[in-house]
Amino acid sequence: MKKSIKISLGGLAFNIEEDAYAILEEYIESLIMHLGNTPEAKDIVGDIEARASELFIDLLSGMQTITIDMVSSVIEILGRPEQIVNGGESNGQSDKKSEEPKSTERRRLYRDGENGIIAGVASGLGIYFNIDSIVFRILFGVLLFANGLGAIVYIVMWIAVPIAVTTRQRMEMRGENINFSNLEKNVKEEFNKVKQNMEKRNVSGFFQKFFNTVGQILIAIGRVFGVIAKVIVVILAVVFISIGLIGLLATTASIFFGSTIVSLFPTFSGVTLAELIGSTFDLGSTLWIVIPLFFVLAIPLLALVFLGLRMVFRFKMRDTVVFVSVATIWIIAVTLLAFVLFFQARSFTIRETVRDKTELILESAQTSTIRLVANANILEGVDIPQKFFNLDDYSIANNNGKPMIMGKPSFFIGKSTSDSFELLILKRSRGATSQLARRSANGLSLLFELQDNSLVVDPFFTLSQGDKWRAQDVEVTLLLPEGKRVYIDRSMEPILSANQTCCMSWPDELVGRIWEMRGNKLVEIR
């Protein structure tokens, strides 16, 4: 087992074995000794280190530590100073060119500041595509005079494409192999060229100064937009992190600590997510849906937090293994959740209806008007009303520590075929089989009571203890004989249906008034 240390190379952090580090350090020292204290030495060594870090990243490919073999391979690619001194400098220029290996580097797009006329865009494109730059200059000119598109494209590329400033960037632009010999040769050539240009250069012409000024202005504008973009990125990152953390906190609290929250805030909610799931799903344990649901929700929220942190701090991370692992967990969770939901959906395939009809016998047979009232005392014995969990026409509340599912019925006024007041109750429910659906419908309870000449109806129906939610609904119809009347109390408004068959009035127009059945229509008695 070899000891490893951590180093920084080309601005990146690596783990490297001690013996491999000794060889790499010796190689860097040999470069410095060979180059001496020349002005270009620092640039060459910096470019060599940057290139070495890129090669190490390619060679690691999932491994964590740089080995001796990797260091030897990188040195072989970059070349040693002794090879240049012993082999290349004694030969002629033609021999150097003939022995130089063919470049394997991909060219990168830069603006060529040395040979460019305005900003080096056309010259850079020419080098990148290995085409004479005059072709691109003509193309930009034609587009400029045709529809002005050439100027727009040129300015965009001027701002977006970086200029080749360093020796390494110019070598990348030309697609040259970035090794010691090429770097040293290019740096020396450029250093000599600069000295010659300084001796020959005169005052720039008017157009060159003009375009340089325009270029500086455009670059400044680009920098301003760059700052604005960075600010927007930071704001987005903060939003992502906030949404992710709040979502994670809410998800974790509601799924795993619902009972604790209920006990701490008794007036806020009396039904936990586990109880809500338990009242719907046919599962031996709610964990079969709670755990997959947590991962399905939490992993995207964690990804939001990670993305936000990465946008702010811009850290580099070899996260392929982490990404694959997390994505696999999320896919498994989604699959398991879909599997549970698919089998649960079978419990809603068949719908059955149970019909109950009751004759209402008033105390006085001569009474022609029945009073219709909603029971205001239905919540007696049920915990505080604020603990209700409402979903459409359904509510879930704690009843002596147990969840109780309640639904809102639909109330109609209809025509009786007999001479008596009648109450027709239709109970509907779904199930996996006809027998289960009918049993679930029979388990629905809607209480009503005749008090003198008043029919008091509960505004909620309830499910039998232990029954699951199966899209149950109850339809109640008060059947009036011909010529009989009904007074509808205002307490009935929440459960009166807006689709009455005997009249065209809305629920708020029906309540607080007396109605008489004439023919098949309700007529208001004023």
Write the pLDDT tens digit of every residue in 429-442. Answer: 998 899 999 999 99
- Total domain count, the chain: 3
Cα–Cα separations (whole angstroms), residue 463 to 260, 266, 340, 384, 466: 27, 24, 23, 19, 8
Neighbours of 31 (CB within 10 A): 20
Neighbours of 503 (CB within 10 A): 14
d(CA 297, CA 247): 8
- pLDDT beyond 70 at 379: no
- pLDDT beyond 70 at 319: no
Between residues 113 and 207, the one the model is more confident about: 113
Domain boundary among 55, 78, 99: 99
Instruction: Let me know if residue 70 belongs to a domain.
Output: yes
Same domain, 393 and 520: yes
Instruction: Let me know if residue 171 belongs to a domain.
Output: no
Instruction: Let me know if residue 165 belongs to a domain.
Output: no
Domain boundary among 347, 376, 391: 347
**Strand runs (DSSP E) across 220-289, as ranges?**
none
Instruction: Let me know if residue 444 belongs to a domain.
Output: yes
- pLDDT beyond 50 at 89: no
The model carries a pTM of: 0.49
Same domain, 243 and 305: yes
Instruction: Let me know if residue 193 belongs to a domain.
Output: no
Write the pLDDT tens digit of every residue in 462-513. Answer: 888 778 888 889 999 999 999 899 999 999 998 899 888 888 889 999 999 9
Q: What is the mean pLDDT of residues 263-281?
A: 58
Same domain, 375 and 483: yes
Same domain, 272 and 333: yes
Same domain, 341 and 473: no
Same domain, 339 and 415: no
Between residues 155 and 481, the one the model is more confident about: 481
Same domain, 69 and 32: yes
d(CA 51, CA 67): 17
Same domain, 375 and 297: no
| Residue 305: partners with Cβ closer than 8 Å, 6 or more residues away | 240, 241, 244, 245, 248
Same domain, 327 and 387: no
Instruction: Let me know if residue 123 belongs to a domain.
Output: no
What pLDDT sits at residue 230?
85
Q: What is the mean pLDDT of residues 454-459?
A: 90
Domain boundary among 74, 99, 124: 99
Same domain, 356 and 313: no
* CB 388 within 8 Å of CB 396: yes
What pLDDT sits at residue 329?
93
Q: What is the mean pLDDT of residues 254-263?
A: 59
- pLDDT beyond 90 at 426: yes
Same domain, 265 and 374: no
Least confident of 36-40, 358-362, 369-373: 36-40
What pLDDT sits at residue 274?
65
Tokens representing 74 are 């990188």
Instruction: Let me know if residue 234 belongs to a domain.
Output: yes
Range of the domain at 85: 4-99
Confidence of residue 196 (pLDDT cuts 50, 70, 90): low
Which of 502, 495, 512 has its CA nearest to residue 446? 495
Give the chain's mean pLDDT: 78
Same domain, 274 and 383: no
